[in-house]
């Protein structure tokens, strides 16, 4: 379980770096939009699209809206990827 979580975090980190165009960016489970200046309502959708593409998964409207922090995203990915 920890290995899977770690693997997801690594992939998610790459997604964040790509979306926000910052190779130095390092996310943690507590990272929220307040920690990343470019993470606003518009870039939130870019992030959703990138996550869906990376993990070949689809989020519904409620899940897109409620995505608040990285920890929540990881938990959701683990739950929807059979983790």
Sites for another protein among residues 4-43 (CB under 8 A): 37, 41-42
Q: Which of 23, 24, 56, 61 binds another protein (CB under 8 A)?
A: 61
- Which residues are CB-neighbours of 43 under 8 A, at least 6 positions away? 19, 20
C-beta of 65 vs 83, nearer to another protein? 65
- Tell me how far apart the alpha carbons of residues 73 and 69 are, in angstroms, rounded to a whole number: 6
65 scored as a contact of another protein (CB under 8 A):
yes
Residue 27 Cα distances to 9, 36, 61, 62, angstroms: 8, 9, 24, 23
Position 1 contacts another protein (CB under 8 A): no
Quick check: 62 binds another protein (CB under 8 A)? yes
Does position 48 bind another protein by CB under 8 A? yes
Is the CB of residue 32 less than 8 Å from the CB of residue 68? yes
Which residues contact another protein by CB under 8 A? 37, 41-42, 44-46, 48-49, 60-65
């Amino acid at each position: 379980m920890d290995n899977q979580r770690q693997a997801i975090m690594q992939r998610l980190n790459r997604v964040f770096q790509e979306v926000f165009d910052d190779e130095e960016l390092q996310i943690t489970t507590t990272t929220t939009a307040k920690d990343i200046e470019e993470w606003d309502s518009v870039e939130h959708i870019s992030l959703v699209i990138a996550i869906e593409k990376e993990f070949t998964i689809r989020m519904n409207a409620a899940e897109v809206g409620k995505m608040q922090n990285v920890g929540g995203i990881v938990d959701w990915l683990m739950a929807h990827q059979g983790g």
